[in-house]
Amino acid sequence: MKKQLNAIFSRFPPSFIQFIKFGIVGLSNTFISYVIYSLLVYVHLHYLAASIIAFVVSVLNSFYWNMRYVFKGSGEKKDILKSLLRTFLAYGFTGLVLQNILLYVQIEVLGVSPYLAPVFSLIITVPLNFILNKFWAFNKKEITSVNS
């Protein structure tokens, strides 16, 4: 089965396969984040506080799977810590700052349900997260040149 999958995947450019893997990790991560967010909103935690807590959990989850499955870092402690910091900064912009601005506008200004607003925000944040992770957080060329 693995050989068959490799044969299928070898027909596509590596960046496309990487994007598909990123999407799979992202879908599972989005599910985890949304469940945490929804549960916290359900127990009457303010939607912004719920978003921040879900953000921290989702970044750690995303980092682990992106490092192991999507971008496959070198495994050196220095590289892992650098990538973790960059991941928090990248997701901090898209998943915390941008996501919360989008939530506020959708919920407070447009009257969108706090349960639907995070779903609509994905249209903007997912492609931006991929670009920031691929070319900055897990950029092997830059990490290698720093370690040389």
The stretch 13-28 carries a mean pLDDT of: 84
Assess if residue 8 is contained within a domain: no
Assess if residue 76 is contained within a domain: yes
pLDDT at 140: 62
Three-class DSSP category at 110: coil
62-114 residue pLDDT tens: 888 888 888 775 556 667 888 788 878 877 777 778 888 999 999 999 999 99
Assess if residue 143 is contained within a domain: yes
- Report whether 101 contacts 140 (CB < 8 A): no
Least confident among 55-59, 70-74, 95-99, 125-129: 70-74
The stretch 133-140 carries a mean pLDDT of: 74
Q: In which domain, by residue range, is 58 found?
A: 15-147
Assess if residue 66 is contained within a domain: yes
Assess if residue 74 is contained within a domain: yes
The structural domain count of the chain equals 1
pLDDT at 104: 94
Does 13 score more than 80 pLDDT? yes
Angle at 14 between CA 12 and CA 19, to 5 degrees: 95
Residue 145: pLDDT band with limits 50, 70, 90: very low
Assess if residue 105 is contained within a domain: yes
CA distance 44 to 38: 10
pLDDT at 71: 77
Assess if residue 3 is contained within a domain: no
Residue 147: pLDDT band with limits 50, 70, 90: very low
Assess if residue 79 is contained within a domain: yes
- Report whether 66 contacts 133 (CB < 8 A): yes
The stretch 13-18 carries a mean pLDDT of: 82
Q: Is 32 exposed, middle or buried (0-12, 13-18, 19+ CB in 10 A)?
A: middle
pLDDT at 113: 95
Read off the DSSP letter of residue 43: T
